[in-house]
Amino acid sequence: MIGVPLRLKTAVALVLLGLLTLLAGIGQRTIWAPSETFTASAPSDAAEAPLTVIDQNLRTLHGGTVKINIEGDGNFLLAAGRPDDVDAWVGQAAHNTISGVSEDGKSLQVEHADGEAAAPNPAGSDLWVSTENASGELEYSWTPPADGAWALLLASDGTKPAPASVSMTFPNDTSTPWAIPLMVLGALLILGGILLALLSARKRNGKGDGQGSGFAQRARANSEARASSRVNMVAAGITAAALLGSGTAANAATPAPEPSGSSSAPAAQEEAALPVLLDAQFRRVLEQVSSATDAGDAAKDAALLAERVGGTELEVRTQNYKIRSQVGSYEPRMPVRSTKLLTTVVTSDRDWPRSVLAVTQGDGNVVPQLLTLVQQSPRENYKLVETTPLQPGTTFPTISREGTDTLAPGDKTGLLYSGEEALSGLADRLTTPESAFKDKLVEGESSPYIADTLSYQAEVVKAGENGNFSFTHKVVPESTVVFRTEDGGALVLGRINFGFEGTPKAAGDKLSIGDDAAALAGGKETTTGMVLSFVESMAVYVPPAGSTDPMKLVAATRGLVGASFK
């Protein structure tokens, strides 16, 4: 009789324990469920700085979209760019970096770096794929504009302190690994308690019947065996649920091991292979270049070009305006169009200077035009340095729009000729009719530049009865840019200075120059000699090493930039 009350008490205890366990599991999914997000704020005592960088790792710290709230006095901006671009733009300026979140999830970790007290205003920089301008407060959802890592730059105008009130809301880990095991365990404990109570009740009833008949005893024995079996099954289920719960929790607490051989090196290599401009950035830059060039062309004012045009193109257009102000019939430079963008060529090399190409054919472009844009340093914007019409009948070589390598001018790796050799060969071909490169560098069937240049020079010599004339074509080495093409060859671009000198054959002989050159020289005739200077913008395709094909002139143009008397 002592065993039955003990079993009843145990049964009651199991039911109560099961109820508590079941409620604990349900509670983890309801009243004790973790918040879907958590918010961390920058400490109020952080040092002031003109720039604040928000580290790339914060965007993916907890997965999902990160929301940023910023409060500041007056106007400020938040710019998104590649991490290396952000770092390069910040340079030596004093800045804060929001690099992480405290263990309790309440504070943002801010690191301060001393440096220059001010920086240029980052507004309008070509480095940013997007910018958000705000006054007083900004709520920003941080989503990546493309694959790869992205960082943020926060600033007022580069001179005032960047806004210090920054908070970030992250997705929280809402998993409850113990909830299901606890609910299962609670249910099993309740079931076990009920079965144990039933077994105890039957046991007590059997004892009250005395010895009874043999049949009754056998029935009672079978019933007790079945009940014991059920209790054993419940116990096994309880054990399995406990093991399941502990295993789930262990898996949640233990990070998955990284694959063998994994490291941050592949990620760094992937980052290094990314193009320096996204398509949206490129189009924005091209539109600004086109607008600046249109304004300068319309007003014949080179000062309007300075913000977006430089190098060879600024020099040629400046002189073109000067000539056209005196010679109304002089042909203007081909307009620069951002519409009808046929293709782009973007380097994946992250160092500066950075060069990119666009091929466009908008209104006023008789043939497609190759535009070369260069960004000299992180804090400078891209400028148009050359405009070169494609040769008629020429096919532009295929170059990946996802980013390609640029090679040093003297690098011949995988090429029939290096960039230096290609342009030097072209210069020699333009100077000497029987050049060693006569059969190594050709034009298309309808491409006239080399033939026209040689013909022009020959006619000047033949017609110049009173003068001796000479011509030179010299490569400007620092202008050479080489892009790898998809077939393993290269597209080489650069500037060649075309010099044209004339000296009278005898004392008293006069040499005459055209109206265009006279506008720069200040006169039309000379008895002492004259010098004309032209700029040639050129693009040459170089086949890959081992090819038997010749180099091909892809694009070419010439512009008068100087004229003087000796």
Q: Give tens-digit pLDDT for 67-92.
A: 999 999 999 999 999 999 999 999 99
CB of 333 closer than 8 Å to CB of 297: yes
Which residues have a Cβ under 8 Å from the Cβ of 408 and sit 6 or more positions away? 419, 482
Share of the chain above pLDDT 70, in %: 84
**Exposure b/e, 114-127, CB count within 10 A at least 16 = b:** ebeeebbebeebbb
Among 37-41, 217-221, 249-253, 543-547, the least confident range: 249-253
Amino acid making up residue 199? L
**Minimal CA–CA distance to 516: which of 296, 331, 386, 389?**
331
CA–CA dist 376, 384 (Å, integer): 11
pLDDT recorded at residue 239:
47
CA–CA dist 187, 421 (Å, integer): 83
Per-residue pLDDT of 514-537, as tens digits, reads: 999 999 999 999 999 999 999 999
If DSSP codes are grouped into helix, strand and coil, which group holds residue 310? Answer: coil
On the question of pLDDT at 218 being above 70, the answer is: no
Q: What is the mean pLDDT of residues 469-476?
A: 97
If DSSP codes are grouped into helix, strand and coil, which group holds residue 351? Answer: coil
Per-residue pLDDT of 416-454, as tens digits, reads: 999 999 999 999 999 999 999 999 999 877 789 999 999
Confidence at 11, pLDDT banded by 50, 70, 90: confident
CA–CA dist 268, 273 (Å, integer): 9
**Minimal CA–CA distance to 124: which of 383, 385, 381?**
381
Residue with tokens 């006054």: 135
Q: What is the mean pLDDT of residues 313-317?
A: 98
Q: What is the mean pLDDT of residues 359-382?
A: 96
Structure tokens at 416: 């029939």
Using CA atoms, how far residue 451 sits from 431, 469, 550, in Å, is 11, 19, 16
Confidence at 197, pLDDT banded by 50, 70, 90: confident
CA–CA dist 440, 429 (Å, integer): 9
pLDDT recorded at residue 188:
82
Q: Which strands, in side-by-side order, build the sheet including 369-375?
A: 341-346, 354-360, 369-375, 383-389
Using CA atoms, how far residue 393 sits from 125, 416, 483, 538, 547, in Å, is 38, 23, 21, 16, 22
CB of 133 closer than 8 Å to CB of 31: no
Residue with tokens 């400007």: 476
**Minimal CA–CA distance to 341: which of 417, 280, 424, 254?**
280
pLDDT recorded at residue 186:
75
pLDDT recorded at residue 206:
57
If DSSP codes are grouped into helix, strand and coil, which group holds residue 232? Answer: helix
pLDDT recorded at residue 247:
45
Q: What is the mean pLDDT of residues 302-310?
A: 97
Structure tokens at 221: 């024995």
Per-residue pLDDT of 128-174, as tens digits, reads: 999 999 999 999 999 999 989 999 999 999 999 999 999 999 987 65
- SS3 of 26-42: the string is HHHHCCCCCCCEEEEEC
Structure tokens at 240: 């399995």
Q: What is the mean pLDDT of residues 95-121?
A: 94
> Please, what is the average pLDDT of the chain?
86
Tell me the angle at which helices 214-253 and 179-208 cross, rounded to the nearest 10 degrees: 170
The span from the first CA to the last CA of the chain, in angstroms, equals: 133
pLDDT recorded at residue 301:
97
If DSSP codes are grouped into helix, strand and coil, which group holds residue 6? Answer: helix
Residue 534 CB neighbour total at 10 angstroms: 19
Which residues have a Cβ under 8 Å from the Cβ of 434 and sit 6 or more positions away? none
